[in-house]
Amino acid sequence: QKEVEQNSGPLSVPEGAIASLNCTYSDRVSQSFFWYRQYSGKSPELIMSIYSNGDKEDGRFTAQLNKASQYVSLLIRDSQPSDSATYLCAVNSGAGKSTFGDGTTLTVKP
């Protein structure tokens, strides 16, 4: 079992829909959770961090964390074609190094 697992996708949604990206992790002592966006041919870009159970909203993005279920998700409301990218989930258990999932590729169709 991988330490951080994401649906490999690809995930395709129509423009204006809600895109839901999911991530599960195996280390129960994980403390910090991150979502990165990576456009094709570019480096990852941090878009959300979440540290406490519940929801955290930033514009069209909402991160959700459930430590009991070892689950973190990213919702993108009103999806735009410019949101088409690979989304990476990263988890940190306080040891300095974050563990990244393999990413979910999202395509938003006009």
Partner 1 sequence: GAGVSQSPSNKVTEKGKDVELRCDPISGHTALYWYRQSLGQGLEFLIYFQGNSAPDKSGLPSDRFSAERTGGSVSTLTIQRTQQEDSAVYLCASSLRGGGAMYEQYFGPGTRLTVT
Q: Distance between CA 93 and CA 33 in Å, rounded? A: 9
Using DSSP bridges, classify how beta strands 32-38 and 45-50 pair: parallel, antiparallel or unpaired. Answer: antiparallel
Q: How far is the CB of 102 from partner 1 (least distance, A)?
A: 4
Cβ pair 88, 40 in contact under 8 A: no
The reply to whether 39 sits near partner 1 by the rule CB under 8 A is: no
Q: How many CB atoms lie within 10 A of CB 78?
A: 13
Q: Distance between CA 105 and CA 88 in Å, rounded? A: 9
Query: Residue 7 or 49: which CB sits closer to partner 1?
Result: 49
The reply to whether 53 sits near partner 1 by the rule CB under 8 A is: no
Q: How far is the CB of 106 from partner 1 (least distance, A)?
A: 15
Residue from 19, 23, 24, 34 that binds partner 1 (CB under 8 A)?
34
DSSP-assigned beta bridge partners for residue 36: 46, 88
Q: What x/- string results for residues 90 through 109 when contact with partner 1 is judged by CB under 8 A? A: x-x-xxxxxxxxxx------
Q: Which residues bind partner 1 (CB under 8 A)?
A: 31-32, 34, 36, 42-46, 49, 51, 88, 90, 92, 94-103
